[in-house]
Structure 1
């Protein structure tokens, strides 16, 4: 039986019959043998492919050798059926290969619960059997605080409530919990932590998630989603400003359990020769850094402990405390293993699928495929010195002194990044109207305490001349891990009373006094109006150079990546919340755009409704990225908000009038 997309009603009936036959059959033909049709016999029906991939220089992980193949699909039948069509690979000769024919069958929107082609309970059961019982029906993380899902538990609710904001380690272990709860709809948050806690519903969370541990499971999910036009999302840990890992009625591929790590002391590929790691995309920052420490090397990753460092972080570019020395996280990538939209498992590197390899390195996650593992360069063990200090207005420090001292710090940004440094600092306005800033930390890889002291001495002399007394704290470490672990605590989790946005400010703004004055004033003015600014003095254009990849060109010119947080009271009216939200996008961030024309923003920490996001997030790389999106995923199997190709789709509902709600239907324009 083959799918014909021109006769959707006939197809649906045939598909349902197929499901009933398979589920109800007493036996199936498996690997040319007739065996009982049950969970123990169907689930292992995957080919164990050789660990040495034909186009990869690193052996496949065990889970990557477990693949869905045409031979497997041919065997997954009972004695009456020729194949399992719903899970078949994309057939380019089929009428489904024609977008207009596909659209006439499915309509403009993805398939949702209640739609004619939405999978029946029998189909979900079959899918779960084929997956090896890896299918999870979504129950929101905070459901135990309510009666809605039948799992009310007072003690668990109290634990979740106490650890909701400041313990991301718990959220990342949940199949569907995400940071961007506002855009999900905030439909199931602990009472007292949300603007409106009237109950618990699924909202924008996916309907089902697949806890993948092998490639076959990824392929089955991709094929089912494509063949039935289901919305498909990918979640690793859920650290996500842009709600890319959620979607009402979606099927989610949860990559968190892809934890394999393999170290190569001598890895050779193309012109690279040196230490390297192959890491599953579920590996988190703390796990990657621990592995590097154990092998006396250094990995380039983010500051977040629980972020999936080989997932959306590295696919979106990935800035790092080591970026001023080594570039972006994705600059370290040597090879990738990926399941593409047609369901096939391939290797992407400079010699195999080089265009896809180019796009995956910085073109964004949830866009071109599901990456299962990545090979990255490792660098030599490196010493690090950190510095922390803080100052604020008060009896001995006027606002004028405060801003003059902060400006003295800004003046040195090029000097500091040229020295390979990275500074992570905050600026805010207190309830008393005063201002404060803290450096937490100044991160100096490769420097001793004496060398860092010498670097900052001119700055601290300026502080002293301005009447600013600080108590700097220096710490010297013999490796990256110790400095990173003590400097960056577990990151906070989602709230529905905050919106954020960012801007990449170019080096050229520091090479022109008028531009620097305007830049500093644009930052100062919004803090004076109540904005919370978190910023990074960081560059991503190392002296040793960087590869040609899809990283936003604005990163190569940057010396300041700054984030604005706009917060509002939990009891604020909808009108007040909309005013605060609009002020972030159309006033505060616009001031930053005005002083950095042609620059950009970091897609992973950006304004949810960044105007002209194709330029801001991708710059001159966007036309090629869009072209590759059409080549590798012309049906839009993979969609994420503000990702490449997302302009071809829209959500059916808005939050506050202009924020696309992930708790609504996704439809093609």
Structure 2
């Protein structure tokens, strides 16, 4: 794959030709001198991509280093391996095996699906220069912080990345005041990670809403896409916390967006998806007094017991979720063939005794069926103590995925719960696993935002996965197709068209091949979101897979992003 340009023509055949056979660039691609001049303007902040796995291959980047490659393979699924790079996505599917550590050393190692360059941006001026350069030279632009991204939004063939990772300033605001909020707040630069935000909050006797992953960026797609996590049943989604965005729009303007200033942009950024309206410099959110927290873990398997007994206990647990989430707790669980794990259920402001009472029906069902289990519940003096003790740092997701938001009506009776268990069993019998995050975010925030309304009736955000194949792109394509066409429809069949709003999914953890993503990811908000997109990005600088307005473009087989 060679560096290529976006094309604004109605048909790609009207564009300058791209010569793939001999490896030459498109005629629109900037010369080396132009890139060098741009780097000089940026004072050396332009980063040319060198794939991490180049140490595993003989290529233009160097020769195979077996020891370095073995070491890289051993840590490839750690988020820290990818976070500090400007180009490596954590969802391996979107690297397209361009330069993969698990393929033979004789296989290709090219930039391919990675970004060509990245700008290490630490100011509004860097943002503005990058946007202007991308527009002037008709280059695909992506926004990247850490690479935590299930849908390939932070990478792209022939792209220039606006790399926000080093905007790491954090400020505690003791007396934030606006017409709609008065209280403590925290302001985060676009590159701040969840663990950094939580530790500074903790040091000041505060908590803020953040994700389950320690290294997820706070201000990026996480909050812009809604943002779930251990505190959301008590405090609301991450998007519900937003007080102010500081952004650079598609017209290179640096503006603030609040409920009273550029209110439409504020609304869109708060839950309407990232990477498409503007590039975020900073985010200001509500901060709350720290809180004592109870948390519990539970694991059991089907070894030595009948399938009926195993799934019977799973059903008992599912039926207990309304009481758990209504109490302000969040339960994170995993169901795989013959294996069930809750890790953890987090209950802010609750005692361990109260939490155990909520879990007791499941524990009783395990004992009644003589199923061995591992269980731990404890009180913690602060939220961060519980987070570190009970929420182990996850590796990157080595799965092809799809997802659905499951409405609370599915757990309103034994009959509907049994139907859900049957669908989950079908998924497991067909090579899948299910990761569930159970919440109650039905409380509507004081200031409306663009969060998919389906969230307000959701009790489970269910992610369905099929293992990623390290060496076969075709196997992964087939696996993703199975998710789309075979497994997710089993959940769709359970979801009523009315009440909860029909089929919906969390847009940050979803199937990038979702054909009706406008309705499934954004619900009734989509038409208004599209208007706001066109207002603040009228030149079409921002584009991301399944983002608002993305249907106006299509990716060609040769990697070019062209007008639809």
TM-score of the aligned structures, taking structure 1 as reference length: 0.78
Q: Paired residue for 2:229?
A: 320
CA distance in 2 between counterparts of 1:516 and 1:637 reads 46
Task: Establish whether residue 602 from structure 1 lines up as the match of residue 514 from structure 2.
Answer: no
Structure 1 pair 240–573 and aligned structure 2 pair: CA distance change class (3 A): closer
SS at match of 1:411: helix
**What does the per-residue CA deviation read over 1:181-201, in whole Å, with 9 as the maximum and x for residues that have no partner?**
2133121111xx349971311
Correspondent of 1:162 among 54, 74, 89: 74
CA distance in 2 between counterparts of 1:107 and 1:122 reads 28
Confirm or deny: 8 A CA contact 2:402 2:510 kept in the other structure. yes
Q: Paired residue for 1:276?
A: 185
**What does the per-residue CA deviation read over 1:197-248, in whole Å, with 9 as the maximum and x for residues that have no partner?**
7131101111110011111011000011122221000101001110001111
CA distance in 1 between counterparts of 2:155 and 2:215 reads 19
Deviation at 1:578, TM superposition (A): 4.5
Q: Paired residue for 1:70?
A: none
Q: Paired residue for 1:443?
A: 346
Deviation at 1:467, TM superposition (A): 2.8
Q: Which has the larger radius of gyration?
A: 1
SS at match of 1:350: coil
Task: Establish whether residue 464 from structure 1 lines up as the match of residue 367 from structure 2.
Answer: yes
Correspondent of 2:220 among 295, 311, 314: 311
SS at match of 2:217: coil
Q: Paired residue for 1:41?
A: none
Q: Paired residue for 2:531?
A: 627
SS at match of 2:350: coil
CA distance in 1 between counterparts of 2:473 and 2:255 reads 51
Deviation at 1:634, TM superposition (A): 2.5
CA distance in 1 between counterparts of 2:233 and 2:17 reads 45
SS at match of 2:508: helix
Deviation at 1:367, TM superposition (A): 0.6
Correspondent of 1:410 among 315, 318, 338: 318
Task: Establish whether residue 510 from structure 1 lines up as the match of residue 405 from structure 2.
Answer: no
Question: Which sits farther off after the overlay, 258-267 or 150-159?
Answer: 150-159
TM-score of the aligned structures, taking structure 2 as reference length: 0.92
Structure 1 pair 571–364 and aligned structure 2 pair: CA distance change class (3 A): closer
SS at match of 2:146: coil
**What does the per-residue CA deviation read over 1:57-96, in whole Å, with 9 as the maximum and x for residues that have no partner?**
xxxxxxxxxxxxxxxxxxxxxxxxxxxxxxxxxxxxxxxx
Correspondent of 2:58 among 121, 140, 147: 147
Task: Establish whether residue 199 from structure 1 lines up as the match of residue 108 from structure 2.
Answer: yes
CA distance in 1 between counterparts of 2:528 and 2:154 reads 24
Structure 1 pair 592–108 and aligned structure 2 pair: CA distance change class (3 A): farther
The 5-angstrom pairing of residues 11-50 of structure 1 reads: none
**What does the per-residue CA deviation read over 1:384-405, in whole Å, with 9 as the maximum and x for residues that have no partner?**
111112111122x211110111
Confirm or deny: 8 A CA contact 2:400 2:476 kept in the other structure. no
SS at match of 1:555: helix
Structure 1 pair 230–517 and aligned structure 2 pair: CA distance change class (3 A): same
Structure 1 pair 104–591 and aligned structure 2 pair: CA distance change class (3 A): closer
Structure 1 pair 111–461 and aligned structure 2 pair: CA distance change class (3 A): farther
CA distance in 2 between counterparts of 1:387 and 1:303 reads 15
Q: Paired residue for 2:175?
A: 266
Question: Which sits farther off after the overlay, 127-136 or 179-188?
Answer: 179-188
Confirm or deny: 8 A CA contact 2:141 2:541 kept in the other structure. yes
Q: Paired residue for 1:588?
A: 487
SS at match of 1:472: strand
CA distance in 2 between counterparts of 1:570 and 1:140 reads 17
**What does the per-residue CA deviation read over 1:113-141, in whole Å, with 9 as the maximum and x for residues that have no partner?**
73333212221111111111100111111
Deviation at 1:594, TM superposition (A): 1.6
**What does the per-residue CA deviation read over 1:521-574, in whole Å, with 9 as the maximum and x for residues that have no partner?**
2112211333111111112223x7453111111111100111111126556693
| RMSD (Å) for aligned C-alpha atoms | 2.3
Task: Establish whether residue 285 from structure 1 lines up as the match of residue 194 from structure 2.
Answer: yes
CA distance in 2 between counterparts of 1:109 and 1:423 reads 51
Confirm or deny: 8 A CA contact 1:110 1:230 kept in the other structure. no
Q: Paired residue for 2:515?
A: 611
Q: Paired residue for 1:12?
A: none
Structure 1 pair 572–631 and aligned structure 2 pair: CA distance change class (3 A): closer
Task: Establish whether residue 340 from structure 1 lines up as the match of residue 273 from structure 2.
Answer: no
> Gapped runs of 5+ residues in structure 1?
1-99, 430-434, 654-662
> Gapped runs of 5+ residues in structure 2?
1-6, 19-23
CA distance in 1 between counterparts of 2:401 and 2:165 reads 25
Q: Paired residue for 1:393?
A: 302
Confirm or deny: 8 A CA contact 2:466 2:480 kept in the other structure. yes
Q: Paired residue for 1:54?
A: none
CA distance in 2 between counterparts of 1:228 and 1:106 reads 17
Q: Which contiguous aligned blocks of 4+ residues in structure 1 show a shift greater than 6 angstroms? A: 104-113
**What does the per-residue CA deviation read over 1:152-177, in whole Å, with 9 as the maximum and x for residues that have no partner?**
44443332221101x21121000111
Correspondent of 1:537 among 435, 438, 441: 438
CA distance in 2 between counterparts of 1:108 and 1:316 reads 35
